[in-house]
Structure 1
Amino acid sequence: MDQYKGCLLGALIGECIGTPLRRPTSCHMNLAGVRSKVSTYWEKFLITHAYAKSLLDTGFFSMENAARQCSQTFYHNHTKRQAFGELTTIIASWKHSPQKDWTAAAMTVRNRGTECNAATWITAFPLYFYNRTEQMSFSVDRVARLTHSSNEAAAGAQLQAYAISLVLKNPQLTELEFLSALVEYSNKSLPECVREKFYTRMMIVLDYAQRAEPKEKLFKAIGVGTSPLEAVPVAVYCAAIGRRSSYSFESTLHATMLTGGCTDAIGIMACAIAGAWSGFSSIPADLVGNWDGQEQVYALAEELGNYVSKLHNPDGPLSTFANWPHLLPSAGAMARTGLYYTGSDDTVKCHYCRFTMSNWTPGDPYNDHQKFNRNCIFVKDCTATPAYVHAA
């Protein structure tokens, strides 16, 4: 839970501080404006929260549900609509003209100016999917294409999600191990059409980190704009060099704010990684203040953490069947089907799709699960079966 809170709060802090500090061409604010706006989040946290709620509500990634959640969030937050820019057109199309192809709106809007943003609002995906890397990468690619037609934007989102996933599962990684793993991921797992571009950028990042070059040199070599080829590598670099300090989160935040470019996007991504890497306890007390949206962050972290804890706890599903009233289907068969016992009568619930079933008779629970909810990711992909499930 400490890492989940750290990751989400880090992303929130990165947006709140980074937005008013963006370069003048993007944000015309004086220092007084910075001070008055520094605790306010904008569109990136709103979309992050909407996508997280979609995952938790459906139990799997649904482009339609994610679009609906995002649209609903947008229309319920009047004061923050100004930050959405060209996304307003896309979100309006989801509400007023339901699409069979949910990527159609992004294809019609030349959303080049905010193409990097897709990587800034996927923070919940590595938290939700945890060690299901393939499902995470597929879902992140699809959700990025809801709002961006660029292959680079989708690849940048995948790279950012994998970076969070790495430190979430391996918090003892050194900064060079972290960057080396991202270089390998860029070379082997990103879409072929953009693989070489990201691999080259990540090799530059690793080289600068190994030689401990001044960070300003890297910023100049790669760039600090909105492009995912600039912002994502710079963000992971800031998280990596921040790790070298005993004040890792603060050092990461400081590095991102010195980029002088797209500080909100870079800040969100770098601070989400730093928060997941060291946890909530690593964030200085003076940074855990009255941030706009902070209570939502804590509630969301708890929901995601509890979900993953139940899903991946080795004894989780089977332990819920201690008082299961049937011999057939057996407790083991039910657990292998992704189900857990609610404790009431013979009512069970799926870890993946949250579908509830009861009134069991002898038979194969998998077939019943498939019959009542074909959209469940477990039913669609048997490889989703958790490694912890054992026959009773």
Structure 2
Amino acid sequence: MSPKHLKGLVKTVITKLEHKINERRSAGLLRTLKQTDDLTDFCSNDYLGFARSAELKQLIREAEGNCPIGYTGATGSRLLAGNTRLAEEVESQIAAFHRAESALLFNSGYDANLGLMACIAGREDTLITDELIHASMIDGARLSYATRYRFRHNDLADLESILTKVQGQTYVAVESVYSMDGDLAPLIELADLCDRYGAALLVDDAHATGIYGPNGEGQVVALGLEDRILARIHTYGKALGVHGAAIVGPAVLSDYLTNFARSFIYTTALPPHSYLAIRAAYAHLQCCPETRTQLHNRVACFRQKAAEYLPEASWTDSRSPIQCLIVPGNEAARQVADAAQQAGFDVRAILSPTVPAGQERLRLCIHSFNTADEIDRLLAVLQKSLAGVPTL
């Protein structure tokens, strides 16, 4: 229905919405949905190629064929009709894999972070967050009644200056691998600092799940910190190629979240298919450690070749699969990304205000399935398109 057929208040609201959209379009910031199935993937979070894996797809099909559950949907929240033996079995397997007492499944990483951050700290408590945490953690923190502070990204001195003046129980929230920069949090030093001041550390391990650790358990396990972190968030729509998320930690944490995390309590549970897919993804992860090795080799290859093709370029300090090329200015970043897409590569520009002005970038994701030839050809395209474009 077009706006001219609407009347009264609805028409007024539609006009306001159109005005907001036009403002964003005029500023060059309008977001649109795109299909890029025919482009070489340097964009997605499918780091290990699991989302396109025929082997994983077959494992899921076999699991569905062997599953006695006759429902296609959960039929309700976990606290009503949606809890099953399957859900609890998968949670137990997740907890064991990540070396934790318990795990609680959420419908997405966004839901997990939102629920945790909103409920973990009370009115008399303090919540301190790295300035670059994910939007889901920010939104959850905004819903919290706790006193809130932000510290400069990965700046231990700034964090300590805040810790010296807080009251009540304090919680510090970080990511292990930051999604927009690709750099790693100094988790050992953060854990030491939190121990010194009696603060509890919360770690979003989403972009490390499946990639770091002896078997892909994440960065927390890779560093041997699993007994010093209150809560870890693992998501399944990235390296594991399926959907959903889990918060792992002490058993009492799962009990607490079951009672206070609104994004868990008041939503329909995951369907049986999702539990089976998550379990299959973990099984596949343990069966093909060579895929992780290949991913890390591809990242090293990309970094070496990037230094050769673009010696003057500015990159974020990342050794993870997320490699970010700084191209200041929304228009400049968009032009370079468009050139890469026209050459057949799925590359996206990250624009301000998503990142600070002057820090606009191309967020390049390296995968186990990217070839050395693809890396060469992409970097050659970037080299050509960056000619004459200033970089930081």
Same fold (TM over 0.5): no
Comparing both structures, which one devotes a greater share of its residues to strand? Answer: 2
TM-score normalised by structure 1 residue count: 0.26
Comparing both structures, which one devotes a greater share of its residues to helix? Answer: 1
TM-score normalised by structure 2 residue count: 0.26
